[in-house]
Amino acid sequence: MQRTCRQCSASFQVTPSDLAFYEKVSPTFHGKKELIPPPTLCADCRQQRRLAQANQLNLYERKCDLTGASIISNIHPGAPCKVYRQQDWYSDKWDPLEYGREWDPSRPFFAQLKELLFTVPRPNVFTGFEFDENSEYTNHAGKNKDCYLIFDSDECRSCYYSYSINNCMDCADCFRTRKSELCYECVDCVRCYASAFLQDCDNCADSMFLKNCTGCKHSLMCSNLRNKEYFVENKPVSKEEFMRFRSLLGSRDMVLSAKERFGKLKLEHPQKYMHGVQNEGVLGDYLVNCKDAYLCYDSEDLWDCRHAYQGFMPLKNCMDVQECGDAELLYECCVCGYGMKNSGFCTLTLTSVNDVFYCHHCHHVKNCFGCVGLNRKEYCILNKQYTKEEYERLVPKIIEHMRKTPLRSPDGSFAGQEWGEFIPAELSIHGYNETLAQDYNPLTKAQVEERGWKWFDKPEASDQYMGPPVVIPDSIADADDSVCANILRCEATGKPFKIIPQELKLCQRLNVPLPRKTFFQRHQERMALRNPRKLWKRSCAKCQKEIETTYAPDRPEIVSCEQCYLSSVY
């Protein structure tokens, strides 16, 4: 079945297996399935809509609306909702059922859900705070100790300024890195130690500027090496030569020169058409141990999934999901899992969840529809408690009403029916520019507001005197504790930032120069090192076999199929 996306006008296909999945995940009442219809948006626009619900990276100072305490929150002070400190939000100091309301069949369901979404209090951030220690400035993170400004990260110790890292210790400025220690500016690495500026590396140590290397030690400026030691620019060197080269890389000027040189060296070596290992029947990128995963990215342990992104634990029979894990039969969900099944159109809903639809920030719930902020509840609709019989009689009526209710875009154009559509972006409490959607589908303020979505301008830096201009030493050997006492200016954006003492000590220990840009600028530059979530058809550079890859045809890399790539590195 060919369809045209109502947002971007792209043509997309709904396959028989898609239709079978929609039927499988559709809720059943009294033996009758309430079938979920095929989507009206293409996969990219559906993903954009989900991402518009998730602000992971932006934190603000504000007050707790319950206690008046000063808090840090990922919810903008201008957002249309109350915000409680996590400890209070998860306590019995308030009751989300007090916000319950009767379903009104004379009004659109999404209008009623919007009122609930904007009325029920939200926790200030989204962390496993009860397991955290000294990690207040984190978000979408948990079980961390002594961490600062890490996001989408779990079980880390003494890590800073990083995104999507797990089981790491003493790491900073890393992206999608796991089980690593003493690493700096590493992207898509696992089991690495005492290294900097690595990408797509596994089990490497005491190295800098490596790409696609495995089991290497004491190596610099190398690509596609396996189990080598004391190599520079893919050539063997003596220990003394290596140490001489390595000692120079404490200088910013030398690092910039090395980075430029390394950028050219990488192009001399072939790249595998996709990033991943131990996969079978997959299409996508950055996948590990997946089977029958179609157009999936940044995930591990997928089984029969389509359009899954950043799966953090095993997923089975899921479609159109962002950051979900330990779940089965999910459709159009964002940040959901930990024992979740048979659910759809949910966000931030975790832990022992079954048969819930259109729910937000609910935990340990079952058989709920259109609820916000519930914990350990069952048979609730719009936060109102019902009996099992009342619930099973009323929900089909709401779904039938949603089928007949036209969903309108902010410009008034027809956008399908409510049933089967994810929560519209205009129902997000976050500004579009705060969310992950801006990272993968950047829009201008005018474009966002034209669509009727929110845009929150970030608070401007104070114009108060910030002290005399500070010259950051070129070499880390010349830096001392005084640099941490000053407010610095980003050389790219002019925005203020600071070097924290822990960051200084890590750079000194690794002999790498101090950063001269804000965390957000550095994060954007790390993101730019990774391939986009988009596939192109091209041919293997060696055997001419047709491949689908995230390397666009006009990119300069030598791209090989898996067989040719492996023959070149072993």
466 pLDDT band (50/70/90 cuts)? low
Residue with tokens 């095993």: 314
pLDDT at position 465 is: 62
**Predicted confidence (pLDDT) per residue in 263-296, tens digit:** 999 999 999 999 999 999 999 999 999 999 999 9
pLDDT at 519: 96
Taking residues 346-351, report their average pLDDT.
96
What the block records as the tokens of 194 is: 């005492």
Residue 413 to residue 4: CA distance in whole angstroms = 15
| Distance, CA of 255 to chain centre | 29
pLDDT for res 271: 96
Mean pLDDT on 482-497: 92
pTM of the model: 0.94
Please say whether the beta carbons of 261 and 221 come within 8 A.
Answer: yes
Q: CA torsion angle for 109, 115, 116, 117 (degrees, to 10)?
A: 100
Beta strand 315-316 with 302-309: parallel, antiparallel or unpaired? parallel
Tens of pLDDT, residues 144-180 = 999 999 999 999 999 999 999 999 999 999 999 999 9
Backbone angles phi, psi at 138, to 5 degrees: -140, 165
359/417: higher pLDDT:
359
Q: Are 198 and 207 in contact (CB under 8 A)?
A: yes
Q: What is the pLDDT of residue 460?
A: 66
On average, the pLDDT of the chain sits at 95
Element (H, E) at 523: helix 519-529
pLDDT (0 to 100) of residue 470: 82
Q: Is the pLDDT of residue 415 over 80?
A: no
Rg (CA), the chain: 25
Number of C-beta neighbours around residue 133 at 10 A: 11
By three-state DSSP, how is residue 343 classified? strand
Please tell me the predicted confidence (pLDDT) of residue 459. 72
pLDDT digits (tens, 9 = 90+) for 31-71: 999 999 999 999 999 999 999 999 999 999 999 999 999 99
Average pLDDT, integer, range 491-503: 94
Angstrom distance (rounded) from CA 395 to CA 107: 15
- Tokens 């996590």 correspond to what residue? 86
Between CA 132 and CA 126 the distance in angstroms is 12
- 163 DSSP β-pair partners: 151, 175
Q: Which residue has the tokens 């919810």?
A: 75
Per the DSSP assignment, residues forming a β-bridge with 337 are 325, 350
88-138, pLDDT tens digit by residue?
999 999 999 999 999 999 999 999 999 999 999 999 999 988 899 999 999
What residues contact residue 459 under an 8 Å CB cut-off, 6+ apart?
Answer: 60
Length of the chain counted residue by residue = 570
Average pLDDT over residues 66-95: 95
pLDDT score, position 471: 86
Q: Is the pLDDT of residue 462 over 60?
A: no
**Taking Cα atoms as reference points, which of 388, 337, 395 lies closest to residue 362?**
337
Q: Does residue 570 contact residue 226 with C-beta atoms inside 8 Å?
A: yes
- Are the CB atoms for 219 and 232 separated by under 8 Å? yes
| Straight-line distance from the first to the last Cα atom of the chain, in angstroms, rounded to the nearest whole number | 44
Q: Report whether pLDDT(414) > 80.
A: no
Looking up tokens 């390595």 gives: 246
Residue found under tokens 């058989």: 367
Burial class (CB in 10 A: 0-12, 13-18, 19+), 331: buried
- In the predicted structure, residue 504 carries a pLDDT above the cut 90: yes
Q: What percent of the chain has pLDDT over 90?
A: 94
Residues 394 and 401: their CA atoms lie apart, in Å, by 11
- Structure tokens of 250? 């404490």
Among 87, 66, 65, 89, which Cα is nearest to 77's? Answer: 65
* pLDDT band, residue 412 (cuts 50/70/90): low
The secondary structure of residue 156, as a DSSP letter, is -
Torsion sign (Cα): 550, 554, 557, 562: positive
